[in-house]
Amino acid sequence: MFDSTINVVDANSIIIANLPALIAAHVLLKQYRIDIEKAINVQIKIITGITKDKKKTKLSCANIASKVAKALAAYAHSIENGDLFDEFSYSKSELEQMQDEILIATAENISSCATTNATLLVDFGVDTDILTSLTDTITKFKSKKVEPKAARDARKDCTAILNKLFPQTTDLLKNEMDKLVDVLDDDACATFKALYKSARNIIDYNGPKQNPAVIPGFGILLGNVANSEDNSVIEDATISIVELNLSVQSDENGDYYFESVPVGTYTLKISAPTYLDTTLTDVEITKDSEVSQDVALEPDESGNVEPPEQS
């Protein structure tokens, strides 16, 4: 964000040379932009690092559990125990696709049964080392389900920094730079003023009609919010990226727009007055891409709507 304005002012440094206050504000804007990028990059490393590590551990858990389960199934078949065979007829892909809690419970059940029948399973390829490995990987996967405290704290710190920097940067633009640009001579600086205004419109826009280019290393998330019953657009719906603590509102056409979203998988929460809240999980933002996610909200028929504030 803010890059378009910075580029326009940098390219017209001669025009603003006689206005030191504008130069100082521009220097501060660029510093804010650097600080924002640093904080976002830290978030990217934290989010992607945790996600990759957790996925790797989950796949390892599913892989070992599937081997032990197949040995149990083969053993059950050899003694003609149909119930035991059915209980442990898991494929590796089935285990990989399980929700985290279900996989942990299933793997623990496999481990428990295999441990009980450890002596009998030796001939089926399950020894003490495999059982120990299964127990260890279950324990490791459990620990990856909850982000380490250091990672949570670091991400929380980054979010706090961004929550401070974005309003500061917007305030600097609106209350100093915009006003100082207006001070410049209308005729001599007409082209620069037009370019500056265009760049600022891109920054302030929250809908997908004037999408700026995707910033390298980030992604864009956009979409439309509508009534699920008649497909009418919903204005002023609040769309939040939970993990980043970022929110925007839909415009008069129901459109919303997030610029410069770090690569990762996120949870979206969408709410609007007189509608039921909706949560979308596993919304994936990939590098240098534009992701479209439309939302249909159901009208709240319960009548549990907060009364408007009294003036």
Is residue 31's pLDDT more than 90?
yes
Domain assignments of the chain as residue spans, ordered by start: 1-204, 208-297
What average pLDDT score do residues 201-217 get?
47
Q: Are strands 264-271 and 218-227 parallel, antiparallel or unpaired?
A: unpaired
The reported pLDDT for the residue numbered 148 is 55
Domain with residues 208-297, CATH architecture:
Sandwich (2.60)
3-state secondary structure of 91: coil
Percent of the chain with pLDDT over 70: 83
Q: What is the pLDDT of residues 227-278, one digit of tens each?
A: 998 888 998 899 988 887 778 888 888 888 887 777 888 999 999 988 999 9
The reported pLDDT for the residue numbered 210 is 45
| Contact call for residues 256 and 225 (beta carbons, < 8 A) | yes
What average pLDDT score do residues 190-209 get?
64
Q: Are strands 238-241 and 264-271 parallel, antiparallel or unpaired?
A: antiparallel
Q: What is the reported pTM?
A: 0.41
CA atoms within 13 A on the CB side of 83: 0
The reported pLDDT for the residue numbered 46 is 61
Q: Are strands 218-227 and 289-292 parallel, antiparallel or unpaired?
A: parallel
Is residue 310's pLDDT more than 60?
no
What average pLDDT score do residues 130-147 get?
84
Residue predicted with more confidence, 204 or 218: 218
The DSSP annotation for 218-232 comes to EEEEEEEEEETTT--
Backbone angles phi, psi at 250, to 5 degrees: -70, 150
Q: What is the pLDDT of residues 107-132, one digit of tens each?
A: 999 999 999 999 999 999 999 999 99
Instruction: Give the Cα separation of 46 and 49 in Å (integer).
Output: 5
The reported pLDDT for the residue numbered 122 is 93
3-state secondary structure of 225: strand
> What pLDDT band is residue 73 in, cutting at 50, 70 and 90?
very high
3-state secondary structure of 134: helix
